[in-house]
């Protein structure tokens, strides 16, 4: 099941993200940042146990641009289509508020290509670079790949 996050989910989301951050597959997020951006977060729950097993956020960057970020699914629940469902929930949310382009910075280019994203130069996202990237331990030597999905047309 895919649903919006609630305050009681934030600690679990932080642990999931920390697991993948330790592997340098995504950025860790502080509790403060997660609570502040709670309305951005979608969760995947295990249908049998109700356990939160994945997360993904849609972060609005500008009037017509949003970022898919913090996509993570527990190893035990990968290859079940949950990542796709989480991204699709974010894309539908973006459409509902009038966003025309959704981007991501990722190491998983094949996954996002299968969802219709295309490779782009990350320098076309100056708002993103200065907002989050300054706090990244890899800045300015970022090795993530920028991808975009055009929702208009």
Res. 28 pLDDT band, cuts 50 70 90: confident
Residue 2 φ then ψ, to 5° = -105, 135
In tens, the pLDDT along 92-123 reads: 999 999 999 999 999 899 999 999 999 998 87
Q: Of all helices (H) and strands (E), which one includes residue 149?
A: strand 145-150
pTM of the predicted structure, to 2 decimals: 0.90
- Domains contained in the chain, CATH given: 2-150 (3.40.630.30)
Asked if residues 87 and 56 have their Cβ atoms less than 8 Å apart, the reply is: yes
What does DSSP assign to residue 64?
A: T
Distance between CA 122 and CA 142 in Å, rounded?
A: 10
In tens, the pLDDT along 69-79 reads: 999 999 999 99
Distance between CA 64 and CA 66 in Å, rounded?
A: 7
**CB neighbour list of residue 41: distance below 8 Å, 6 or more residues apart:** 4, 5, 9, 13, 34, 55, 56, 57, 70
């Amino acid at each position: 099941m895919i649903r919006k996050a609630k305050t009681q989910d934030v600690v679990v989301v932080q642990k999931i993200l920390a697991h993948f951050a330790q592997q340098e597959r995504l950025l860790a997020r502080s509790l403060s940042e997660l609570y502040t951006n709670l309305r951005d977060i979608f969760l995947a729950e295990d249908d049998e146990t109700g356990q939160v097993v994945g997360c993904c956020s849609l972060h609005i960057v500008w009037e017509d641009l949003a970022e898919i970020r913090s996509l993570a699914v527990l190893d035990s629940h990968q290859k079940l289509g949950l990542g796709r469902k989480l991204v699709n929930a974010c894309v539908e949310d973006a459409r509902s508020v009038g966003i025309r382009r959704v981007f991501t910075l990722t190491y998983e280019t094949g996954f996002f290509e299968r969802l219709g994203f295309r490779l782009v130069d990350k320098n076309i996202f100056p708002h993103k670079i200065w907002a989050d990237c300054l706090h990244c331990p890899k800045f300015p030597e970022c090795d993530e790949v920028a991808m975009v999905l055009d929702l208009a047309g």
